[in-house]
Amino acid sequence: MKRLRTILLLAITVVFLLAWAFPIVWSVLNSLKTDKDALAYPPKLLFEPTLDAYRDVLFGSGSILPNLLSSMIISLGTTIVTMVLAIPAAYALARLRFRGKKFTGFYVLATQMLPPVGIIIPYYIVLRNIGWIDTYQGIILIYLSFSLPFAIWLLVSYFEDIPYEMEEAAYLDGASRLRTLWRIIIPQVRGGIAVTVVFVFLNAWNEFLFAVVLSGNTVRPVTIAMFNFVSVEQTLWAKLAAVSVLAMLPVVILGIVAQKHIVKGLTVGAVKGGGRR
Amino acid sequence: MASAGNTAATDVAGVAYSDFGHVLAQRERRFATLLLAPAFLALLATTTFPLLFLIYTSAYRMDLSMPFLNGFVGLENYKVLLSDDRFWHSLVVSLVYTISTVILQVIVGLALALFVMNMKRGQGWFRVIAILPVVLSPAVVGMIWRTFMLAPEFGIIDYLAISAGLGSKNWLGDPFLAMVSVVVIHTWQWTPFAFMVLLASLASLPEDIYEAARIDRASAWQRFRRITLPLLRPAIVMVIIMRTMVALTAFAAIFTVTGGGPGTATEILNLYAYRKSFTELSIGYGSALAVALLIVTVIISAILFAIRRGK
């Protein structure tokens, strides 16, 4: 009886682990096949692995290297601009006393309620008029609409953890507020800033709706470019798998690096009230 | 925020410097304004301004394909919307999609969390694997499912269906199966989120209550029903709120998997607003649909927050 229970539990475990890991593992396996092996029926679990698909998508004609670069520019650009704006704002919200503080905090949360499609329609009109469609500045600017509230709230939670004595000691020494923030406070929240950077980058890398509307020949992130490999007539299975794996790789690495902070990163702001995409 | 800064500035002139504390407070306010202004302006420009502009464009006829017909129409778009069958259909699809994915995520996530919590070995595997789906781009997830999992006579699920004697199915071409598929894909990607949050919450529950319950010989079901569930309630409600907001504005996964099709079978309101604006280039009406989506989002979140506050 006890034996049966153990076997049953083990079976449930394996089924669930498989259900969640399989689609990802299967993509990785397919990316290591030749197109012929990928198309084989019944599906082949055992095959001779090859890196041909990666070589083709990276260095063949229609290489996705420019698209990976495009994703990288968008994500890094968004991260830098977001952090420059969010760090001071989060500090003010977490530590300083001023009128309208509650309202400001609420406003930052409330901006996340807006459906992205409601932001992109007007933005598209404006960017079209000033010729910013298919430009990095256009896409990075609109990415602030989701990355900034997220980063501010995540950082607030880290700033709130620093003891007040640190600042007071610095003021008594005659240091200016700005200097104190830069020299004393920011080094204290290095860890929190690193976590925020990871999540802002990740969200920017994964964004899709804005990218679909605003991308063109110059700005073409890998999530958009992967559509080149599927068409009604013919899907290039191994290559598509390779592109998917390349698109997944950076975020999977970041996710595993930030493993301990994932729950916090995913639920930020929720404690105080809002919801995040 | 901006107004707080202004009043602080006007106060300065009227205040004697005798009150040192007051001056300090004033400096603090000005410093806060300085730090907040850039982020605040960026948010105004990227969220509030688009919202106002969206409401403005929703009062216009704005067809990029037929610009000569463009002009102010007042509430006409909203009138059309109320008698637009496709709008009501997309609203129903949105609600079905949201409710079914959220319920599935919470139930499966909670079951998994309880299961893993009681595991003596191998918890680490679940924790690592749970991270993978949630960090992936929904667009990539959609693409993987559309091809390697669901493509007829190629995808693994179709292979399993054939092996089980069900025959090859057109998973994304049949209206009902397509809806099931997009629900399953969303659930697959986001259940680990519910799982991780609920597991963290379970791990923080006080041990001694369970000790007491065990001494009182409460059954496992009683312990779950009377102790665990009430203690987990805040976490569950939080998961429901967050996942509802996301499901209502889901886009990438459905867009890549079915594009809203076949026909409009999986066209949630969000996708309808997108298609109207950027495929059919009817920006004015698309704006009205986006405003409708915002109103639905606000109503639903108001209900959820009321539930959270009550009890």
ipTM summary value: 0.91
Encoded amino acid at A173, one letter? D
Residue B65 lies in a domain: no
Of A224, A201, A208, A186, the closest CA to residue A95 belongs to A186
**Residues of chain B with C-beta less than 8 angstroms from the C-beta of A20:** 129-130, 132-133, 188, 192
pLDDT of residue B296: 95
Chain B interface test: which of A18, A30, A98 (most B C-beta within 10 Å): A98
Q: Specify whether the CB–CB gap between B143 and B273 falls below 8 A.
A: no
CATH number at residue B252: 1.10.3720.10
Mean pLDDT of A12-31: 90
Give the integer Cα–Cα distance in Å for B296 and B247: 12
Q: Specify whether the CB–CB gap between B250 and B186 falls below 8 A.
A: yes
pLDDT of residue B196: 92
B306: nearest CA partner in chain A: A273
Considering B57, B75, B102, which residue would you say is the last residue of a domain? Answer: B57
Q: Is A84 in the same domain as A32? A: no
Does position A152 have pLDDT exceeding 60, yes or no?
A: yes
pLDDT of residue A155: 94
Residue B70 lies in a domain: no
The alpha carbons of chain B give a radius of gyration, in whole angstroms, of 26
pLDDT band at A248 (very low <50, low <70, confident <90, very high): very high
- The distance of A218 to chain B (nearest Cα, Å) reads 19
pLDDT band at A270 (very low <50, low <70, confident <90, very high): low
pLDDT of residue B12: 47
Q: Is A213 on the interface with B (CB under 8 A)?
A: yes
Inter-chain residue contact B130 with A20, CB threshold 8 Å: yes
DSSP state of B169: -
Residue A277 lies in a domain: no
Q: Specify whether the CB–CB gap between B242 and A267 falls below 8 A.
A: yes
Query: Which percentage of chain A shows pLDDT scores above 90?
Result: 53
Q: Is B104 in the same domain as B51? A: no
Query: For residue B298, what are the CA distances in angstroms to A112, B78, B252, B294?
Result: 11, 18, 22, 6
Mean pLDDT of A172-176: 75
- The distance of A276 to chain B (nearest Cα, Å) reads 6
Q: Is A73 in the same domain as A196? A: yes
Of B102, B119, B241, the closest CA to residue A270 belongs to B241
Does position A91 have pLDDT exceeding 80, yes or no?
A: yes
Mean pLDDT, chain B, as a whole number? 88
Q: Specify whether the CB–CB gap between A47 and A37 falls below 8 A.
A: yes
Q: Is B71 helix (H, G, I), strand (E, B) or coil?
A: strand
Chain B interface test: which of A16, A168, A240 (most B C-beta within 10 Å): A16
Q: Is A14 in the same domain as A72? A: no
A265 against A150, higher pLDDT: A150
Q: Specify whether the CB–CB gap between B74 and B87 falls below 8 A.
A: no
Residue B258 lies in a domain: yes
Give the integer Cα–Cα distance in Å for B103 and B107: 6
- Name the residue range of residue A201's domain: 59-267
pLDDT of residue A150: 93
Q: Is B207 on the interface with A (CB under 8 A)?
A: no
Considering A17, A39, A58, which residue would you say is the last residue of a domain? Answer: A58
Q: Is B115 in the same domain as B225? A: yes
Inter-chain residue contact B249 with A117, CB threshold 8 Å: yes
- Name the residue range of residue B200's domain: 85-309
**Residues of chain B with C-beta less than 8 angstroms from the C-beta of A149:** 43
pLDDT of residue B1: 38
pLDDT of residue B178: 96
Q: Is A232 in the same domain as A129? A: yes
Residue B72 lies in a domain: no
**Residues of chain A with C-beta less than 8 angstroms from the C-beta of B153:** 41
**Domain count along chain A:** 2
H/E run at residue B72: strand B71-72
**Residues of chain B with C-beta less than 8 angstroms from the C-beta of A108:** 43
Residue B244 lies in a domain: yes
DSSP state of B196: H
User: Which segment of A251-255, A268-272, B31-35, B195-199 scores lowest on mean pLDDT?
Assistant: A268-272
Q: Which of B33, B43, B135 sits opposite A98 (nearest CB)?
A: B33
Q: Which of A118, A235, A275 sits opposite B51 (nearest CB)?
A: A118
Count of residues in chain A: 277
pLDDT of residue B14: 47
Considering B37, B57, B77, which residue would you say is the last residue of a domain? Answer: B57
Task: Note down pLDDT in tens along chain B; length 311 residues.
Answer: 344 444 444 444 444 545 777 887 888 888 999 999 999 999 999 999 999 999 999 999 988 877 777 888 889 899 999 999 999 999 999 999 999 999 999 999 999 999 888 887 778 888 888 889 999 999 999 999 998 899 887 888 988 898 888 888 889 999 999 999 999 999 999 999 999 999 999 988 888 877 887 788 878 888 888 888 999 998 999 999 989 989 999 999 999 999 988 999 999 999 999 999 999 999 999 999 999 999 999 999 899 988 888 75
Q: Is B263 in the same domain as B201? A: yes
Does position A272 have pLDDT exceeding 60, yes or no?
A: no
Give the integer Cα–Cα distance in Å for A3 and B211: 26
Q: Is B205 in the same domain as B301? A: yes
How many CB atoms sit inside 10 A of residue B5's CB?
19
Q: Is A196 in the same domain as A239? A: yes
Inter-chain residue contact B283 with A121, CB threshold 8 Å: yes
Does position A200 have pLDDT exceeding 90, yes or no?
A: yes
Structure tokens given for A224: 């958009």
Q: Is A105 in the same domain as A85? A: yes
H/E run at residue B60: strand B60-61
Q: What angle do CA B95, B99, B101 make, to 5 degrees?
A: 120
Inter-chain residue contact A118 with B137, CB threshold 8 Å: no
Q: Specify whether the CB–CB gap between A66 and A220 falls below 8 A.
A: yes
Q: Is B48 in the same domain as B165? A: no
Residue A116 lies in a domain: yes
Give the integer Cα–Cα distance in Å for A47 and A215: 38
Q: Is B63 helix (H, G, I), strand (E, B) or coil?
A: strand
Does position A243 have pLDDT exceeding 80, yes or no?
A: yes
Q: Is A16 in the same domain as A72? A: no
pLDDT, tens digit, 9 for 90 and up, residues A44-53: 778 888 898 9
CA A231 to chain centre: 27
- The distance of B142 to chain A (nearest Cα, Å) reads 10
pLDDT of residue A264: 82
Q: Is A25 in the same domain as A68? A: no
Within 179-198 of A, beta carbons closer than 8 Å to B belong to: 181
Residue B69 lies in a domain: no
Main-chain phi, psi angles of B60, to 5 degrees: -120, 155
Cis peptide before B262 (omega within 30 of 0): yes
Q: Is A118 on the interface with B (CB under 8 A)?
A: yes
DSSP state of B61: E
Q: Which of A122, A208, A266 sits opposite B137 (nearest CB)?
A: A208
Main-chain phi, psi angles of B63, to 5 degrees: -105, 115
**Domain count along chain B:** 2
Cis peptide before A42 (omega within 30 of 0): yes
Give the integer Cα–Cα distance in Å for A67 and A225: 7
CATH number at residue A124: 1.10.3720.10
Q: Is A130 on the interface with B (CB under 8 A)?
A: no
pLDDT of residue A9: 81
Full 3-state SS string of chain A: CHHHHHHHHHHHHHHHHHHHHHHHHHHHHHHCCCHHHHHCCCCCCCCCCCCHHHHHHHHCCCCCHHHHHHHHHHHHHHHHHHHHHHHHHHHHHHHCCCCCHHHHHHHHHHHHHCCHHHHHHHHHHHHHHCCCCCCHHHHHHHHHHHHHHHHHHHHHHHHCCCCCHHHHHHHHCCCCHHHHHHHHHHHHCHHHHHHHHHHHHHHHHHCCHHHHHHCCCCCCCHHHHHHHHCCCCCCCHHHHHHHHHHHHHHHHHHHHHCHHHHHHHHHCCCCCCCCCC
Q: Is A30 in the same domain as A73? A: no
User: Which segment of A27-31, A266-270, B14-18, B293-297 scores lowest on mean pLDDT?
Assistant: B14-18
Give the integer Cα–Cα distance in Å for B226 and B220: 10
Q: Specify whether the CB–CB gap between B261 and B25 falls below 8 A.
A: no
Mean pLDDT of A152-179: 83
